[in-house]
Chains A and B, each alone.
Chain A
Amino acid sequence: MAVMTVGRTIGYGTLAGAVAGGAGAAVQYWLVEPSIRAAIAIEDAKSATDHADHGHTSDVVVSRAEQVGFGLLTVLVVGTLIGIAFALVRRFLGDRVPGRSAAGSAIALAGLGFAACTLAPALVIPANPPAVGDPATVNARTVTYIGTIFCAIVLTAAVTALARVKRFEPGLRVVAATALALVGSIVLVWVIPDVADPIPSDVPARLIWNFRVGSLAQMGVMWLVMGGVFGYLSQAVARARRGVGALPSAQFASG
């Protein structure tokens, strides 16, 4: 598999991440913002009745319009930074990442990243819109969120490593990796404490559902676009290298 220079890796990672961040911001604007808007309306109605005697708008430091704009900008920046980290991890792992081509490996790593960094925390401690969430429990939830991602990355790495242990028969490898993934997931779900906040009765279930589906769709699009763009770019490098004179069999030599 062709190896890119660090500079090119960072450049391609930045580009892939920025495109993914742009796509994620678009999904956020169309799919997630309506739920956030509805949730803030509920929050405002609640605080209006709680503080009926005095206007409680003086503590607004960022206007709603700014919040939407800065929010989209944040997604773009986060996407770009994740793209850089993704590209460097992809390069560092080399052919330990499953996939026979540069493009296939990039998509595979993005898929594993989605499972470990997005799907796992979404199952253990799902995303919530404003109007849900008790400030008193935010530390426990944050620790659980980061801990879940960490454990899921360790499990994903172990499953992927087990799936390519050369000593085992391919059939055994598949069974062993699947079993580890299954048992590992069950253990994690069982061991990690359930610290998710209850949904207040004035927040409709439909709003929570739409928000969570929108949030998952947004992050799924970001991983997919990032893997796809980075894969496309690295495949172009691999093809150019092969054209310069590498043996056609070279790609199998490392497998």
Chain B
Amino acid sequence: MPVFNQSRQNVIRVLFLVAFVILLIRLLFLQLASSKYDLLALDNAVSRTVVYPDRGIIFDRKGRSILENTLTYDLMVLPNAVKNLDTAGLCKILNISQKSFHDRLISSIIKNGKFRPSVFESAINTETFVQLQENIYRFEPGFYLQERPIRSYPYKAAAHLLGYVGEVDSTILKRTNFYYQMGDYMGLAGLERYYESILMGKRGIRYQVKDNKNRIVGSYENGAYDSIAVAGRNLNTYLDIELQVLAERLLKNKLGAIVAIEPKTGGILAMASGPTYDPNLLTGSFRKTNFSYMLRDTARPLFNRAIKGQYAPGSTIKPMGALIALDEGVITPSFGYGCAGAYRGCNRPIACEHKNPAHAANLRLALANSCNSYFSHIYRMAVDNREDRDVRTGYARWKKYMNSFGMGVKLGLDLPSEDKGLITDTSFYNKLYNNNWSSCTNVFLGIGQGEMQATPLQMANLMCIIANKGYYYTPHFVNTVEHQESSDTLLNKFKIRHEVTMIPDTIYNIVQLGMQDVVDHGTAMGARIEGISIAGKTGTAENYGIINGKREKLKNHSWFVCFAPRENPKIAIAVIVENAGFGATWATPMASLMLEKYLRDTLSAVRWKEVERIEGTEIILPVVKMKRRKLDSLRREKMKVQVKRFTAGVQSTNQPASEHSKNITFKHIEAIIKDEESLC
């Protein structure tokens, strides 16, 4: 019996124990003392994805969606991370040649630099996407897929109205008190911005488990920590998308605007500004490039002339002058003025188109003939109406009328950044004329010239007032919000009826008839449509521009405002075409086509020909085009310098750029330039 070494059994036991205690302590340290591994494990295995809700859809009055959501994926490239790439594999999936692969890589380095991600292939189709997603780990980290929910515009129209969405920037983050997060998209313009709170919905967060190759294998904890994304709500608008498309066609190759409003509700049926652009240009990854390009265009396609363009209203203001005089009680409809070709009430005569003394024998005739003398006279009568004969109080009252009509103030439609036009204060004249002025000083206001400017929207709204016989609703696009809640206060202000005159309907009838005469046998005969009674008024706005440093009178703007049918107005329209000359030439037929399209819901073949004729006519001042050309060539030069710098860079990094690759680079840049040119 070996008893000699029996004590050693305890040494061995102690050795076992110590070893296990070491393991236990290490375990304690790993599992309990440090939460580092928890986080690392989460980071390893759980991916946190922000789930963006679908933004609300915008429908037109007939329930057609004019703004939808599409989900696309971009293949992004981070040039400095591209290493040991299976180029052939990637090219095969993308179905591109290796040469074009290198071209693209080079061009993204030129555009965004080596250390910033660029879009390698945008809006990848489903089939390619599936293949890419399965294999993307082979191309990471140089290449990765990026989900991109984008807005799509099936009618490619209404760009100015719908606006666009874009990623929030730091100023927005601060302004909204960090309600948004980096990477969020929000409406940056148009209805997208105005109704952001309704359209955006609520974003959700999804936790998913991924495996060692970063493939998603399922939801984390059965979605216990997920928060659900709530889709944005849809908007139903008054817009008639076909009418909108027509308006945009009519304004093609022109600068100008068309606004059509349903007088009874203030609902905007169409609002076009020329030139416009395809709203799809401002979606997805090319938004910034396209945006900055359009921003520099001298024709200013991003500028919504319908609410921001400010023009002298010219003769189109005359019905309003009549309304003020009637409401003030200074004239009756039978009031006449013996005009002999000019108004001589003030120092300087104001010319009138007509010489026949009977052409302004009453209000209806004066309106029909657009008599400058008549409206200059009644302007002065209205302003000088009070006992004290102080032009200041008189003018202040006139201004108040104008403001109540929505002139010189923001109407407050549901688009951001509307401009208010211009109706000056008395203080303006006080200052300018050293307190020494009379109704003669600004008598031109009576015929819509001088210190007076209006936006096309305001002019259309004026037509609504006459069509409604004394009231209007603030023009707006959105009729109803889907699943309306009591907290949605955005639409409340559009339900307020603005009463602006106390004139009885019978007298309004006379004003309307005077305007109908304008169309039936006056200056706006081009607007006539068989079977529809149209009340309208043409206008010609003088304007000046600065060319080569000199202030020069430019060709007049062409105005036409109208509503129809006169008996039961369903649509009020304002059309302006910049530098198109006399009001009747362009604006009138355009408005007529709009009316017919809306009221009859269709146009005859002959009328479509007319549309094509107008569409094909270019009315853009040469100076605008010249400036645009200059800008483009500047851009091209800049691009070329960049290319040179790039190829020089390649050479300096000791990689002799072969003649071949240099050619590719240049060719590619030229293609880029060409692409961008075609945008315009």
Q: Do A and B bind each other?
A: no
Residues of B near any A CB (own CB < 8 A): none
Residues of A near any B CB (own CB < 8 A): none
